[in-house]
Structure 1
Amino acid sequence: MGQYWEVLGKNGIDRNRLATYERKITEEPYYLPNTIHDFEEYLKLLKQLHSSNDLQMLVDEARGHIGGDGNQAINDVLSNFSDHDTLRQMERVTRIREILSRDHLNEHQSNHKVKDVLFLDLCLEGYIKTLSDRIMHIDIGFEAYVREVGILLANLALSYRWQEIKACLADWRDLASGLCHSGNINNEDNARKVKAIMDRIRCLMGEVNDTYTEQ
């Protein structure tokens, strides 16, 4: 209890102040370890009620549908929320989305399963955007930019069934990533090839925007 009062005291709170609240606090707290689990479950419930985009809730709903590989991949994502390497976490999220798209989002699945998996996939898509926004204004270096563009293209290919996205992704992986690893990006001809892919991506994004703006 000494530590309890010490923390309150550092923040300008003492017994007298607690007693002046509308709902007065006049008794010291007591420790009931057997209630911790109940409060943790209650906290999860509150999060579910107040966040329609709560990843943990959607994972719990879909776990029974996504198999061993899917569960292993999603556990990898959940256990690395604090990973300082944002691109690595983006790659983890992309991996689980690839598994969901390949094995669990097709016309042969039950409506209930597709609904749960689809909501999870939409949440993961939003998480990718959040991660990308986190490093948007940071100079992460050329190689990391190449890596990030590849990740974002891979996610676009999972979200939109357009062949041009897949073609751009394949070209980006073959050309830009190869140049990055070989160190030949300073070659003028190679730079033009990378720019050509970027121009195609820019046009593609404009087409995506126009398509969904008109609907």
Structure 2
Amino acid sequence: MKTASAKTLLVAIAGALLFTCNLPAQERIEDKQLTQYAFILGFTSTQEKDVPVKVLPDAVKASAIHLDDQIAVLIPDQQLAEDRLAKVSEKEVTPLGQIWLRDLVPQVEGKKVAADKLRSVTIDAGKEKITAQLCFLGLQKNSKGETEVVVYGKGKEVVARPVLEAHEEKHDKPILVGMDAPADKPMTVSISFFGKHRAQFEVAAAGK
């Protein structure tokens, strides 16, 4: 587990985003300071070692959503553009961005990914500290020619590879994070691409 050295006010603000509690049900986080939060989270990610794919965080285009106290913050790569999807290949992973998960961990077929396979980052927010999961994201074709989102845990450990599917959703960001918790199915986090495609992967409440 790594601790970001951060006793500055801005890091306290970033921690505040992930510390947000007592929020009403599911809601997109549209706070005017989201860009500032995302900038610090993105900067924190650049201090990580053994990264699987080089991502240049674009804080201005970040999105965030929460379901009660569980939060997901999605930050795209600065060079992400719609035409990049057409250039994704099977030979290499194309940078997509990063996602921060608070009180959530990825799971596969109903089983949570083991802690030693996850990249846990602790943010010092002054009087309190918060640990979140940081997943770097990439795009790659599989053997069937389908585009997958490669979700990385610790190091180069791949914890999920959801397939990109056709899905229409109006929004003004290159990628938009979503969250769904149906009563009869596992909770999922989704990534919507340019309002035309979507990929989803399973998550579960951390520590339960």
Given the two structures, how large is their TM-score scaled by the length of structure 2? 0.25
Which one has the bigger strand percentage? 2
Larger RCO: 1 or 2 (CA < 8 Å, sep 6+): 2
Structure with bigger gyration radius: 1
Given the two structures, how large is their TM-score scaled by the length of structure 1? 0.25
Which one has the bigger helix percentage? 1
